Structure 1
């Protein structure tokens, strides 16, 4: 009897440890996912362009192909690479984060420059060319291009996620990274699928709605989606610059250069103390985010001519504009 009680006690202890581990994994996954918000918004804002111009019946299959490629990128390539880096070269993480943050700043600043500065806008087929060619071949080309772009964004997401995991156990790191990979992929491509089909939903409501209100909602959706897409693009650009600047500032502090982070914190605290107590937390966050945004935009504008004039020609051409 005493042996059975001891066994039950051991089982209870194991259950408690397992429950604690699940809590740790959930907490780490939530923290890691929240850190990647800027990249997620960018991914969701960028991906719909890859299905633009194709038949409506091909939109969801194309998104599904890209989503599968994204999962492969994250789970098969990037997750093992992240675990190896955490085990053998953890010092490399902040440097990679600086690179990832710089990429976000470049992307955001390039979009700002694209709006502000005059440019030639050549449009044609779904890929931006005037020769549409074979739709099946074009679809394959667009999917491959989307998966390549996703690889860069996924690498940023996984590196950001890895940087937030404090648990030393490799299996917890692996589970957290896998949860982040699956969760963010489902979130991004689920949102993309919803976005690209919303105009079809609106059109369907206008055609089958029995009530005038239903038909009006459908018309509103159809008319409003272009504005939603534009708003999403603006929010995505702002998020890229804010998160990119924040990543760079915090990563530089991890590397050993604390001056930028201390400067931002100093003036954010001044702004915090300039308002009543009930608003201080919000003002502190807003002031920090605003300065991170300015840093991201400034650094991105520095990178735009360097990348477009020097780096891209070395790799065989210009990047496809988002």
Structure 2
């Protein structure tokens, strides 16, 4: 009896160890996988604050919370089952699906760059005016729809990193990634949209020191610049990630020379150190994303003109 109990306890301990190891593996893979979706994550953080532009300060955080819940539904209820089913039944579809995301990221990044240099009409100001006149429900719906596209990219990129893992491991990693990225992005957005309110409160605080008031004014004045910097980083990251996805995807589909050319150049500078190697590889991916994205922008602009005629 005692021997049987001891054997049972040993089995339970072994199961617990395996479960702990699996948990550690999932956490480690989720951490590595999340970094691969950096471009989309940064862009998500840069895009979301515009949805609460013109909203009363008291409603900003409740709206962000509603968008956060919508984002979780997008990732875990809508996207996750679809891409897991695809990876199980049609694993060969993952590369084309990932490349579609690469084309979208390249298009979005290139469009922002071309708008900045004046080669493409900037429709963002019109969008802000329309958003200001929308109801809260309409703003949330618009933000959640935008998040659906970005979330699809995040989840597909993440799935690609664990495509060779067992189905259960893939599911667990993607659930962790979805939760981690959603709360990180919208938590950051919640902080960003409140920085100027915090600064204003410090600047107007009765009895506050001169240094505190100056710091408050610094926060108020610095907030637009911070959002601009985040937007620039997000655009560059989208082009880099999109370009890299397309280079690797084309190589896997049989068009080898673009990826091999970049790989050859990277090998030539490897002796200069990891930082230089990363910069060169990232730079080529970024340029690739910009060129392909610019072609897509031109094609879409041409279609719009034809339709207008």
Shift of 1:13: 1.4
For the residues of structure 1 that align with 2:71 and 2:248, how far apart are their CA atoms?
Answer: 27
Q: Which residue of 1 aligns with 2:200?
A: 203
Q: Which residue of 1 aligns with 2:277?
A: 284
Q: For each residue in 1:225-270, what CA deviation from the matched residue of structure 2 results, as whole angstroms up to 9, or x when unmatched?
A: 1111111111111111111101111222233333222211110121
Q: For each residue in 1:101-158, what CA deviation from the matched residue of structure 2 results, as whole angstroms up to 9, or x when unmatched?
A: 11111001100111111666678887424x965xxx5222221111111111101111
Q: For each residue in 1:170-190, what CA deviation from the matched residue of structure 2 results, as whole angstroms up to 9, or x when unmatched?
A: 222111111111111101111
Q: Which residue of 2 aligns with 1:8?
A: 9
Shift of 1:308: 3.6
Q: Please, which runs of 5 or more residues in structure 2 have no aligned partner?
A: none
Which one has the bigger helix percentage? 2
For the residues of structure 2 that align with 1:51 and 1:132, how far apart are their CA atoms?
Answer: 8
Q: Which residue of 2 aligns with 1:259?
A: 257
Residues 70-149 of structure 1 correspond to what in structure 2 (within 5 A)? 70-117=71-118, 127-129=128-130, 133=133, 138-149=135-146
Q: Secondary structure at the match of 1:210?
A: coil
**Normalized against structure 2, the TM-score is what?**
0.92
For the residues of structure 2 that align with 1:122 and 1:296, how far apart are their CA atoms?
Answer: 22
Alignment check: 8 A CA contact 1:94 1:252 kept: no
**Cα–Cα, structure 1 residues 291 and 93, in superposed 2: closer, same or farther, change >3 Å?**
same
Alignment check: 8 A CA contact 2:114 2:120 kept: no
Q: Which residue of 1 aligns with 2:216?
A: 218
Q: Which residue of 1 aligns with 2:46?
A: 45
**Cα–Cα, structure 1 residues 28 and 166, in superposed 2: closer, same or farther, change >3 Å?**
farther
For the residues of structure 2 that align with 1:173 and 1:261, how far apart are their CA atoms?
Answer: 27
Alignment check: 8 A CA contact 1:54 1:126 kept: no
For the residues of structure 2 that align with 1:236 and 1:53, how far apart are their CA atoms?
Answer: 23
The number of equivalent residue pairs is 306
**Normalized against structure 1, the TM-score is what?**
0.88
Residue range with higher mean Cα deviation, 207-216 or 140-149: 207-216
**Cα–Cα, structure 1 residues 206 and 165, in superposed 2: closer, same or farther, change >3 Å?**
same
Q: Please, which runs of 5 or more residues in structure 1 have no aligned partner?
A: 318-322
For the residues of structure 1 that align with 2:305 and 2:71, how far apart are their CA atoms?
Answer: 24
